[in-house]
């Protein structure tokens, strides 16, 4: 079923990557599971989906706090991303969202604003065959505060030279929707 867009004067579209453009959340969960097992921890599936959109390093810090762990953030992030990187060739598109990107490419500026690291976001977009359709890609390295803060979306709007009130965000998590609201942007929950 095609996505329904809200009414508004939208001059730029901003897309989350994981779970919005890419149907890759099971691949991320598998990578998290393997990485956490390597370090003697776990990441329950319900938390994984509850914390969707939260930057990877913040997730490790939250797991440490919630379960009384003392995992090295950088080591766990590196391991998780290694496992995900191995699985990227298996990534599938979210067909309705990618169809919308193709429909609006060249008509309005398009950006990706992700909580993921640039290397993984770029590789995912390339694997989907859509990297060249975006005017900007904002990743975790490009801002200080991740979702639910508005920083990723505001950075994308800045790169597209679009006012936040004229941006429409596509997201798959409540965390991302909170960030879009905080940025003063309309949103579509995928």
Residues tagged active-site: 16
Q: At what angle are helices 118-128 and 73-87 packed, to 10 degrees?
A: 10
d(Cα 152, Cα 113) in Å, to the nearest integer?
Answer: 6
Count of CB atoms within 10 A of residue 79's CB? 19
CA angle 66, 63, 83 (to 5 degrees): 160
| 3-class secondary-structure state, position 126 | helix
């Amino acid at each position: 079923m095609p996505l329904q867009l809200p009414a508004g004067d939208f001059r730029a579209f901003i897309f989350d990557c994981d779970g919005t453009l890419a149907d890759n959340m099971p691949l991320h969960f598998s990578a998290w599971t393997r990485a956490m097992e390597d370090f003697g921890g776990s990441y329950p599936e319900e938390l994984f989906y509850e914390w969707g959109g939260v930057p990877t390093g913040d997730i490790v810090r939250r797991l440490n706090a919630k379960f009384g762990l003392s995992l090295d953030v950088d080591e766990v992030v590196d391991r998780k991303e290694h496992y995900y990187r191995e699985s990227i060739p298996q990534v599938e598109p979210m067909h309705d969202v990618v169809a919308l990107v193709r429909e609006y490419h060249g008509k309005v500026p398009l950006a990706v604003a992700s909580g993921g690291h640039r290397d993984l976001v770029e590789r995912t977009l390339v694997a989907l065959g859509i990297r060249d359709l975006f005017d900007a890609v904002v990743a975790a390295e490009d801002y200080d505060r991740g979702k639910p803060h508005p920083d990723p979306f505001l950075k994308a709007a800045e790169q597209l030279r679009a006012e936040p009130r004229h941006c429409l965000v596509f997201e798959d998590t409540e965390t991302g929707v909170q960030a879009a609201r905080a940025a003063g942007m309309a949103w579509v929950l995928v």
